[in-house]
Amino acid sequence: MLTKNQLGFLYMFMSVCAFSLMDLIVKWSEDYPLGQVLFFRGFFGVVIYFFIMPRERIKNFYYTKRAGLHLLRCLSGLIALIAIFIALRILPLATVVSISFAAPIFTTVFSIFFLSVKV
């Protein structure tokens, strides 16, 4: 049996591999319409979620008391996904990955202004 640290490493490694594969597939799919690529990314993501979700919580898995914030998070995630897919089509893969590594820096800076976090 794996320890929690080993299991965490395994999940992070699988996540990095999955996102890298997704970026590569998006880069290869330049000939297809952006909407079609987004649809199939979402479709296969939902299929995977149904295998991951606990069976007893399928009906209330996404229940939230903050529907407005949940909608805002969904919209910002959708905008980010569309933006990175467009960037992957226009820029070289290495450039997009390098810029995406700067996300923690932007998150820290925005948290100072929007959330009044002391850094």
Instruction: Profile the chain (119 residues) by mean pLDDT over runs of 10 residues.
Output: 92 92 90 92 87 80 85 93 92 89 91 89
What pLDDT, on a 0 to 100 scale, did the predictor assign at position 48?
Answer: 86
What pLDDT, on a 0 to 100 scale, did the predictor assign at position 71?
Answer: 93
H/E element, 111: helix 103-114
**26 and 100 in contact (C-beta within 8 Å)?**
no
Q: State CA 30 to chain mean position distance.
A: 20
What pLDDT, on a 0 to 100 scale, did the predictor assign at position 9?
Answer: 96
Residue 18: exposure state from Cβ atoms within 10 A (0-12, 13-18, ≥19)? exposed
Rg (CA), the chain: 17
What pLDDT, on a 0 to 100 scale, did the predictor assign at position 46?
Answer: 87
Give the start-to-end residue ranges of the domains of the chain. 66-119
**Measured distance CA(119)–CA(102) in Å, rounded:** 17
What pLDDT, on a 0 to 100 scale, did the predictor assign at position 7?
Answer: 93
What pLDDT, on a 0 to 100 scale, did the predictor assign at position 85?
Answer: 92
26: CB partners within 8 A, 6+ apart? 37, 41, 85, 88, 89
What pLDDT, on a 0 to 100 scale, did the predictor assign at position 73?
Answer: 92
Q: State CA 76 to chain mean position distance.
A: 11
